[in-house]
């Protein structure tokens, strides 16, 4: 197994796993705030485009009722009489990070874990088109998509990531002599 594959899985694990540890950190306000701060350069962290953990229900769901945009970046929200603890990244990024990690784990069972050449770029372009269309439409105010749509577009793009990043990492680590 190539070093590039191992490094990819480690990096994606470090990036993805803390994003869903809200139930663990919600009662430790310093840790909860620090995790949000760590991810702030990577995500807009808008509550209306994020999922929250509601301990009363034991569920992850939209921080607010569907519809509309809010520029709030609050880490905790009130909804239907319950307190929700916002994940440190938006719903699209949750899909992107977790799909990149899980599909990377799936790459272990393919030839791509040892490859140095990625698939043709057209496959990556096709995978990011839904994300690009949805994100651009929102940016220009043409629509406000749901968190479910954001999650799905993130998952589609995230599934493609390891097929391009693993070969890139394999090439880099082979060139520096750490294959």
- Summarize pLDDT for 43-66 with one digit per residue, the tens: 999 999 999 999 999 999 999 877
Question: What b/e readout covers 79-109, taking b as 16+ CB neighbours within 10 angstroms?
Answer: eeeeebbbbbbbbbbbbbbbbbbbbbeebee
Residue of 108, 124, 122 whose CA lies nearest to 164 = 124
Helix axes 147-175, 121-139, angle to 10 degrees: 140
What's the DSSP call for residue 120? P
- Summarize pLDDT for 86-144 with one digit per residue, the tens: 999 999 999 999 999 999 999 988 887 888 899 999 999 999 999 999 999 988 989 98
Which pLDDT belongs to residue 111?
Answer: 82
Which pLDDT belongs to residue 146?
Answer: 92
Model pTM greater than 0.75? yes
Which pLDDT belongs to residue 4?
Answer: 87
């Amino acid at each position: 197994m190539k070093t590039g594959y191992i490094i990819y899985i480690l990096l994606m694990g470090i990036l993805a796993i803390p994003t869903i540890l809200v139930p663990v950190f919600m009662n430790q306000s310093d840790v909860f705030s620090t995790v949000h701060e760590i991810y702030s350069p990577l995500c807009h962290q808008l509550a209306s485009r994020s999922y929250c953990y509601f301990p009363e229900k034991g569920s992850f769901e939209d921080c607010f009722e569907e519809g509309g945009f809010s520029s709030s970046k609050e880490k905790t929200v009130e909804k239907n009489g319950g307190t929700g603890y916002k994940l440190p990244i938006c719903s699209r990024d949750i899909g992107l990070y977790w799909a990149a990690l899980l599909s990377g784990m799936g790459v272990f069972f393919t030839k791509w874990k040892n490859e140095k050449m990625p698939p043709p770029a057209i496959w990556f372009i096709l995978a990011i088109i839904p994300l690009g269309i949805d994100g651009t439409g929102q940016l220009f105010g043409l629509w406000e998509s749901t968190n479910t749509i954001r999650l799905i577009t993130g998952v589609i793009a995230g599934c493609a990531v390891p097929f391009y990043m693993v070969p890139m990492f394999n090439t880099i680590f082979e060139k520096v002599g750490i294959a």
